[in-house]
Amino acid sequence: MRILAIETSCDETGIAIVEARLASGTTKSIKVLANKLISQAELHAQFGGVFPAIARREHAKDIVPLLTHALKEARLVKKLKHARVLTKKEHAVLSKIFHKEPELFEIFKGELLAVKIPAIDAIAVTSGPGLEPALWVGINTAKALGTLWDVPVIPVNHMEGHIIAALLIHQNDLRVTTNNKQPNTYNLTPVHYPALALLISGGHTELVLMPSKGKYKMLGQTRDDAVGEAFDKVARMLGLAYPGGPEISKLAEKAESAVYVQDANLLIRKLFTPLPRPMLKSGDFDFSFSGLKTSVLYSIKKFETLTDKDRELIAKDFEDSVTEVLVAKTLTAGKKYNVKEIILGGGVTANKKIRKVFAEKVTQEMPGTKLFIPDILLSGDNGLMVGVAGLLRSKPKKNIVANGTLKLAKSVSPTLAELRKRK
């Protein structure tokens, strides 16, 4: 089974081509024929966050050229002597799909009618959650390819993709692509249930119980900002670039390794009270990071001028606070539900501190539990995770629609936003 995957839920255009080979036992071997990514992060940096209309525009500009690159890398492109001409019916269907994106339709025709139909069995596409204008670009492209190539299109939940990313263990067979080295083959580790997933990204902070295959139960989620969003906003307060997560992490690391770290507590106490550890003792599995962000703001205000050293210390205290809360809640839930595995997913799992403390604490406090953290290459948004999620789900759908708030599971406790909506 060979799948072409499309990811456009936020500010990364991802295209992957994957092939599943059933290996011995229950381990699936995933061959990566291509895994391409274009990030818009630099473009959004000037707004301090992702601007949906610009994200959509950029996806529409990049998606077909990136697709062609991926097909070439997978050696699936064969130029036709004479470009294909769309039948009346095909033209009508595609015009309808692209009615809001005429430019994209032109690029699509220009590139895809000139080549032979590639040997692809299905297309997987992120249908949510994410920014709807951005999601639509991927969905429409997937639908159009499905029509042109006469293959099924499988909608994928982005968060399920993040869970799967952690279960992909790469083999040591690097392949050299146009600009870097990437693993050629991944083994998809089978999950042992019950398992627990902590999903931490720019838009989500969710603690999800996986009682059995394909079942998800939301134990808790953020009541306000997502953890990645808090990283991004605090970075902005400290005058750092978007995306803020890696920037905060770099500063915090400096504070950690610097000589003055011994004085850190003194310094922090003198200038600001240590940051709170929000909801640590709330007795549930919900999170809240908005207050923490405000505490950072108050702390910053107490400094007359913020030196590099001060910034580093604030970044460290913020990162420590987030880490402490995430680890404590996850371990409490893990013990309560007696889980066999803990799976971390989402862009924030790239954070070194979070990776390290999780590894230490799970070993110390839950020695029988396995911890899965995605390979750094797969921690952020990517097409590969969508492709593998598509392989596992393989439930094609005709009328896929973008769903910005698509859920993995119903929540046991509604968020504030949901409560407000109900009123």
Q: Which residues bind Zn ion (CB under 5 A)?
A: 201, 381
300 in helix, strand or coil?
helix
Nearest to 274 by CA among 256, 250, 260, 292: 292
Residue 86 burial by CB count (10 A; 0-12/13-18/19+): exposed, middle or buried?
Answer: middle
> By C-beta, is 348 or 388 nearer to ligand KG4?
348
To ligand KG4, the closest distance from the beta carbon of 127 in angstroms equals: 14
Site for ligand KG4 contains 244 (CB under 6 A): yes
Site for ligand KG4 contains 228 (CB under 6 A): yes
> By C-beta, is 191 or 226 nearer to Zn ion?
226
Angle of helix 227-237 relative to helix 308-336, nearest 10 degrees, comes to 170
To ligand KG4, the closest distance from the beta carbon of 230 in angstroms equals: 8
Site for ligand KG4 contains 243 (CB under 6 A): yes
Positions in 372-391 near ligand KG4 (CB under 6 A)? 380-381
To ligand KG4, the closest distance from the beta carbon of 371 in angstroms equals: 18
Q: CA-to-CA distance for 232 and 211, rounded, in angstroms? A: 33
| Token duo for residue 305 | 């001028």
The number of helices, as runs of H, and strands, as runs of E, in the chain is 14, 14
To ligand KG4, the closest distance from the beta carbon of 151 in angstroms equals: 26
To ligand KG4, the closest distance from the beta carbon of 212 in angstroms equals: 26
To ligand KG4, the closest distance from the beta carbon of 2 in angstroms equals: 26
Which positions ≥6 away from 233 have C-beta within 8 Å? Answer: 225, 244, 293
Residue 292-331 contact track with ligand KG4, rule CB under 6 A, x = bound: ----------------------------------------
Name which position in 133, 155, 347, 383 contacts ligand KG4 (CB under 6 A): 347
Instruction: Supply the DSSP symbol for 283.
Output: S
The binder of 189, among ligand KG4, Zn ion, none, by C-beta within 5 to 8 A per type, is none
Nearest to 345 by CA among 320, 371, 316, 315: 371
Name which position in 140, 201, 288, 323 contacts ligand KG4 (CB under 6 A): 201
Name which position in 346, 383, 387, 390 contacts ligand KG4 (CB under 6 A): 346
Sign of CA dihedral 131, 237, 256, 267: negative
> By C-beta, is 206 or 381 nearer to Zn ion?
381
Site for ligand KG4 contains 203 (CB under 6 A): yes
To ligand KG4, the closest distance from the beta carbon of 199 in angstroms equals: 9
Q: Which residues are annotated as a binding site for substrate?
A: 199-203, 232, 245, 351
Pairing assessment for the beta strands 28-39 and 185-188 based on DSSP bridges: antiparallel
> Is the Cβ–Cβ distance between 333 and 271 less than 8 Å?
no
Positions in 122-181 near ligand KG4 (CB under 6 A)? none
Q: CA-to-CA distance for 330 and 196, rounded, in angstroms? A: 8
To Zn ion, the closest distance from the beta carbon of 208 in angstroms equals: 14
The binder of 348, among ligand KG4, Zn ion, none, by C-beta within 5 to 8 A per type, is ligand KG4
Site for ligand KG4 (CB under 6 A): how many residues? 19
**CB hemisphere CA count around 17 (13 angstroms):** 19
The binder of 342, among ligand KG4, Zn ion, none, by C-beta within 5 to 8 A per type, is none
Site for ligand KG4 contains 232 (CB under 6 A): yes
Q: CA-to-CA distance for 49 and 58, rounded, in angstroms? A: 15
> By C-beta, is 245 or 278 nearer to Zn ion?
245
Name which position in 350, 378, 388, 392 contacts ligand KG4 (CB under 6 A): 350
To ligand KG4, the closest distance from the beta carbon of 198 in angstroms equals: 13
257 in helix, strand or coil?
helix
Q: Which residues are annotated as a binding site for Fe cation?
A: 158, 162, 381
* Full DSSP string of 55-89: HHHHHHHHHHHHHHHHHHHTT---B-SS-----HH
Q: Which residues are annotated as a binding site?
A: 158, 162, 199-203, 232, 245, 351, 381
Instruction: Supply the DSSP symbol for 154.
Output: E
Nearest to 33 by CA among 78, 70, 79, 77: 70
Applying CB under 6 A, the residues found at the interface with ligand KG4 are 10, 201-203, 228, 231-232, 243-246, 249, 346-348, 350-351, 380-381
